[in-house]
């Protein structure tokens, strides 16, 4: 397996610290709102990586945090007149629902900053003792950036270039810093903000320290892989390295993986630009696995542009896979037992080729785009050999081989090859689906009276609606 390592800017053969095991930390979201589909990209990418490495036999310990103390959370809490904790608890739950919809498996540990304050105080104290950090007059603790010789090694920035860039950046408290490059480890409390006691002042941690502390606590001083979106390379990951390596004297992470941005009109999707769609919104329009599949149509390091057209294409491509999955499942029920013909045996053996192509692509820095091409080769072969235009039914062993192989490869990508179809069989299905769409539109327009009327009229016809995260489902009572 080759991984592009941001630290060395090269694709490197992956060699774990302990044979057969992987320790991995992925920086998670700041929880103050529903996550947008840009935030979902690292989740899907690194979940896919985790699934693939497990398929290759590794035991992966996967840790991903929730940043639950932050200016944006505090602002949102003040707007709503509730505590920051109420905001973060709410959006952690919502984020977990979105992850489940996208079939992103929960991490082994989801640590939260506010539950790890003691560890942060310990690490900061150690950094002060070693001269890597200092306390300013008002109790703010800063990391002494120039005390770490290797600062800049991840982002490939040179300290003096940074110095010039930062001169423009005047932030409050700036005048207390020994050097503009120093960054905050602990800051004093302000009115209306959550705070914790510390040896320096009542206050709260800076953002970067949480990941250094949680990675060390749950995975150890040196881990195999640290990951996140490319916007985290600088300063977040650079600062994490400085804090961790000055604490332990050891290398913090061997491999640094960063996903490219999900863009809209070639601009990064972000909350601050307002050009975002939440996962929730997209999942109202599409089966969540279409979004998952869409993310996998590109290799993770490049930018990925989001558009309705590309989502439609992803939907249709995925349908080719699920249609084949459904066809194979059905064929299995009636396929004759018995020995394979020579041609069937050749087709059976040929499936190994697709598995190999899939793995070769994934081994090349998780090239899911090429891995999907290998799945389509398999689908094409299955369609030709199991459903011959004329001739006899394929033997069961071949159908089963196609079905199992397709299920395995799609499963590594976290996709289901057989989707439940409820509509279609009922002669009134189309009309009912149409009414459901009208009701959704009415709700969107806040015309709740109309929405309720549609529901009640359907109920009067014996049709019960159920609103789920995947959309509205219906059944006959």
Q: Which of the ranges 33-41, 210-218, 286-294, 443-451 carries the binding residues for ligand AMP, by CB under 6 A?
A: 33-41
Q: Which of the ranges 34-42, 82-90, 344-352, 452-460 carries the binding residues for ligand AMP, by CB under 6 A?
A: 34-42
Which one of 54, 94, 166, 231 is in contact with ligand AMP (CB under 6 A)?
A: 231
Q: Which of residues 22-41 bind Zn ion (CB under 5 A)?
A: 27
SS (H, E, C) 334-370: HCCCCCCCHHHHHHHHHHHHHHHHHHHHHHECCCHHH
Cβ-contact 90, 137 below 8 angstroms: no
Q: Which of residues 37-66 bind ligand AMP (CB under 6 A)?
A: 38-39, 41-42
> Tokens at residue 432, please?
């009912």
Q: Which of these, 327, 325, 326, 348, lies nearest to 395 by C-alpha position?
A: 348
Q: Which of these, 47, 53, 40, lies nearest to 3 by C-alpha position?
A: 53
The HSE-up count of residue 315 (CA atoms within 13 Å, CB side) is 12
Give which of Zn ion, ligand AMP, none residue 211 binds (C-beta under 5 to 8 Å, depending on kind).
Zn ion
Nearest-CB residue for ligand AMP? 229
Give the nearest distance from C-beta 40 to ligand AMP in angstroms.
8
Q: Which of the ranges 22-30, 53-61, 356-364, 464-472 carries the binding residues for ligand AMP, by CB under 6 A?
A: 22-30
Give which of ligand AMP, Zn ion, none residue 268 binds (C-beta under 5 to 8 Å, depending on kind).
ligand AMP
Beta-carbon count within 10 A of 188 CB: 18
Q: Rounded to an integer, what is the distance from CA 27 to the centroid of its chain?
A: 10
Give the nearest distance from C-beta 109 to ligand AMP in angstroms.
17
In 3-state terms, what secondary structure has residue 380? Answer: helix
29 lines the binding site for ligand AMP (CB under 6 A): yes
Give the nearest distance from C-beta 230 to ligand AMP in angstroms.
7
Beta-carbon count within 10 A of 94 CB: 17
Q: Which of 27, 136 has the CB closer to Zn ion? A: 27
Give the nearest distance from C-beta 269 to ligand AMP in angstroms.
4
12 lines the binding site for ligand AMP (CB under 6 A): no
Q: Which of 49, 66 has the CB closer to Zn ion? A: 66
379 lines the binding site for ligand AMP (CB under 6 A): no
Beta-carbon count within 10 A of 112 CB: 18
Which one of 185, 269, 366, 454 is in contact with ligand AMP (CB under 6 A)?
A: 269
By DSSP bridging, strand 267-268 and strand 253-259 are unpaired
What DSSP string runs through 248-315? Answer: HSS-SEEEEEEE--EEETTEE--TTTT---BHHHHHHHS-HHHHHHHHHTS-TTS-EE--HHHHHHHH
102 lines the binding site for ligand AMP (CB under 6 A): no
Q: Roughly how many angstroms between the first and final C-alpha of the chain, as a whole number?
A: 53
Q: Angle CA(307)–CA(375)–CA(309) in degrees, nearest 5? A: 15
Give the nearest distance from C-beta 229 to ligand AMP in angstroms.
2
Which one of 270, 305, 317, 472 is in contact with ligand AMP (CB under 6 A)?
A: 270
Give which of ligand AMP, Zn ion, none residue 231 binds (C-beta under 5 to 8 Å, depending on kind).
ligand AMP
Q: Which of residues 165-224 bind Zn ion (CB under 5 A)?
A: 211
229 lines the binding site for ligand AMP (CB under 6 A): yes
Binding mask 184-223 for ligand AMP (x = CB under 6 A): ----------------------------------------
43 lines the binding site for Zn ion (CB under 5 A): no
191: left (phi over 0), alpha (psi -120 to 50) or beta: beta
- Give contact residues for ligand AMP (rule: CB under 6 A): 27, 29-30, 38-39, 41-42, 228-229, 231-232, 259, 261-262, 268-270
């Amino acid at each position: 397996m080759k991984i592009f390592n941001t630290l060395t800017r090269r694709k490197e053969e992956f060699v774990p610290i302990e044979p057969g095991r992987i320790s991995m930390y992925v920086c998670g979201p700041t929880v103050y709102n529903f996550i947008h589909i840009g935030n979902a990209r690292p989740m899907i990418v690194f979940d896919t990586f985790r699934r693939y490495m497990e398929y290759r036999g590794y035991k992966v310990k996967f840790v991903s945090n929730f940043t639950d103390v932050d200016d944006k959370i505090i602002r949102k809490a003040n707007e709503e007149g509730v505590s920051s904790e109420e905001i973060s608890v709410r959006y952690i739950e919502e984020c977990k629902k979105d992850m489940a919809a996208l079939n992103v498996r929960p991490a082994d540990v989801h640590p939260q900053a506010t539950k790890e304050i003691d560890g942060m105080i310990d690490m900061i104290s150690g950094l002060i003792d070693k001269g890597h950090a200092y306390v300013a007059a008002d109790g703010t603790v800063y990391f002494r950036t120039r005390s770490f010789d290797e600062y800049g090694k991840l982002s490939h920035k040179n300290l003096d270039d940074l110095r010039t860039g930062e001169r423009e950046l005047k932030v409050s408290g700036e005048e207390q810093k020994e050097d503009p490059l120093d960054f905050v480890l602990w800051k004093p409390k302000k009115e209306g903000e959550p705070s914790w006691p510390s040896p320096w002042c009542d206050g709260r941690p800076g953002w970067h320290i949480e990941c250094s502390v949680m990675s060390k606590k749950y995975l150890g001083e040196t881990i195999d892989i640290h990951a996140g979106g490319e916007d985290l390379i600088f300063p977040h990951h650079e600062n994490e390295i400085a804090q961790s390596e000055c604490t332990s004297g050891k290398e913090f992470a061997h491999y640094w993986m960063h996903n490219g941005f999900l863009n809209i009109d070639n601009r990064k999707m972000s909350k601050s630009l307002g050009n975002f769609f939440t996962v929730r919104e997209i999942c109202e329009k599409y089966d969540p696995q279409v979004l998952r599949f869409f993310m996998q149509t590109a290799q993770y390091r490049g930018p990925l542009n989001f558009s309705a057209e590309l989502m439609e294409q992803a939907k249709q491509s995925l349908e080719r896979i699920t249609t084949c999955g459904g066809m194979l499942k059905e064929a299995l029920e009636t396929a004759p037992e018995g020995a394979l013909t020579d041609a069937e045996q050749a087709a059976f053996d040929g499936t190994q080729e697709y598995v190999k192509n899939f793995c070769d692509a994934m081994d090349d820095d998780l090239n899911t785009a090429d891995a999907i091409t290998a799945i389509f080769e398999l689908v094409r072969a299955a369609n030709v050999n199991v459903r011959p235009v004329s001739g006899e039914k394929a033997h069961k062993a071949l159908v089963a081989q196609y079905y199992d192989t397709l299920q395995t490869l799609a499963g590594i990508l976290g996709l289901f090859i057989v989707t439940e179809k409820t509509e279609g069989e009922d002669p009134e299905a189309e009309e009912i689906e149409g009414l459901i769409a009208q009701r959704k539109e009415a709700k969107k327009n806040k015309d709740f009276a109309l929405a309720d009327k549609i529901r009640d009229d359907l109920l009067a016809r014996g049709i019960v609606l159920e609103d789920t995260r995947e959309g509205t489902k219906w059944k006959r009572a």
